[in-house]
Amino acid sequence: MVNIDNEYILTEITNQFGDKVYSSYEPYGLLTIEFDKNSIKDLLSFLYNHQELQMQFLTDVCGTHYPDVKGKEIGVIYHIHSLINNVRLRVKCYTPIENPSIDSATFLFSSANWQERETFDFYGVNFVGHPNLKRILNADEMDYFPMRKEYPLEDGTRTDKDDSYFGR
């Protein structure tokens, strides 16, 4: 029997995908890889169908926005779990804000349907191949994506507050 740990998982992924794994690290013991967004369907299928890994539970799909990282402003993060082996994996993919698109995971995970719609709704990520990609929580008439860091947190023109009360 194979010992399924972070080292084994990373070795299997690296052997299969090589240079499509951009980096790996283990914050708090959770194996995290940064991966090529154009091969995400291949990676998810590999993890799902792998004889030992059996990572067949998609815990979460979410988005991030890094406005200062040119060409990688929008991130899509997957948390995948093997219930049989009780191991988890975090996969991060990045895409430019001009065309934030990535293949949908709904072909493999039914749970990705709602999670991808939520990520689309808040970050504007186009999940290519999603069966019904439309807003799920925000109003249909919104023409922006509220979780992007595109707006200042405070109104700099306000004169009715004293910043000294806020430690500034």
**Cα dihedral sign for 90, 58, 126, 21?**
positive
Query: Mean pLDDT, to the nearest integer, of 112-134?
Result: 97
For residue 62, how many other CB atoms are within 10 A of its CB?
A: 17
d(CA 165, CA 156): 16
Asked whether residue 166 carries a pLDDT value surpassing 80, the answer given is no
Is residue 91 a contact partner of residue 80, using CB atoms and an 8 Å limit?
A: yes
Side-chain-side CA neighbours of 43 within 13 Å: the count stands at: 30
Q: 22-65 pLDDT, tens per residue?
A: 999 999 999 999 999 999 999 999 999 999 999 999 999 999 99
Query: Mean pLDDT, to the nearest integer, of 152-156?
Result: 70
d(CA 45, CA 17): 12
Asked whether residue 126 carries a pLDDT value surpassing 80, the answer given is yes
The alpha carbon of residue 86 and the mean position of all alpha carbons in its chain are separated, in whole angstroms, by: 21
In a domain, 79, yes or no: yes
Asked whether residue 164 carries a pLDDT value surpassing 80, the answer given is no
In a domain, 17, yes or no: yes
For 79, counting Cβ atoms within 10 Å of its Cβ (0-12 exposed, 13-18 middle, 19+ buried), the class is middle
In a domain, 29, yes or no: yes
Structural domains counted in the chain: 1
Query: Mean pLDDT, to the nearest integer, of 110-130?
Result: 97
Task: Indicate the helix (H) or strand (E) that contains 49.
Answer: helix 40-49
In a domain, 51, yes or no: yes
In a domain, 124, yes or no: yes
pTM of the model: 0.89
In a domain, 168, yes or no: no
Task: For tokens 């306000």, name the residue.
Answer: 158
Name the residue range of residue 68's domain: 6-149
Confidence band for 2, pLDDT divided at 50, 70 and 90 = confident
Phi, psi of 59 (to 5 degrees): -75, -40
**Residue 78 structure tokens:** 């997957």
**Residue 4 structure tokens:** 């399924």
For residue 36, how many other CB atoms are within 10 A of its CB?
A: 15
In a domain, 137, yes or no: yes
In a domain, 166, yes or no: no
**For the domain that residue 76 is a member of, what is the CATH number?**
3.30.460.80
